[in-house]
Amino acid sequence: DKGVPDTEKVKSAVKEIEKFLASNRRNLEFSTDEESGKIVVKVIASETGELVRQIPSEEVLKIANSLSDVNSLLFNAKA
């Protein structure tokens, strides 16, 4: 399939990312947002444990959850 990446290419890319992060003293933390079910990636400073960046941000997750709530209300009102 054209849309499915080759497993070896993905593994190679992950190794390159890990090398880059190690050289920049960064760790990645993956989790799932409970409300939206979206994957969340956090970039953490290795030495301090400080959150450098979160993708998507907390604000984006809140907006997505709010839009989902509004969408549910609209569909329930039509039913």
Question: pLDDT of 64-73, one tens digit each?
Answer: 888 877 767 7
| Predicted TM-score (pTM) of this structure | 0.57
Residue 14: inside a domain: yes
Residue 2: inside a domain: no
Indicate the number of domains in the chain. 1
Question: pLDDT of 3-56, one tens digit each?
Answer: 667 888 888 888 888 888 888 888 889 998 888 888 899 999 989 999 999 988
Distance between the two ends of the chain, CA-based, in angstroms?
40
Structural domain boundaries enclosing 48: 7-78
Cα gap 60→52, rounded to integer Å: 16
Query: Which pLDDT score, from 0 to 100, does residue 64 have?
Result: 83
Query: Which pLDDT score, from 0 to 100, does residue 35 have?
Result: 82
What is the rounded average pLDDT of the residues 59-78?
77
44-68 exposure pattern, b = at least 16 Cβ within 10 A, e = fewer: beeeeeeeeebebeeeebeeeeeee
Q: Which of 28, 26, 20 is nearest to 54 (CA)?
A: 28
Residue 2 pLDDT greater than 70, yes or no: no
Residue 1: inside a domain: no
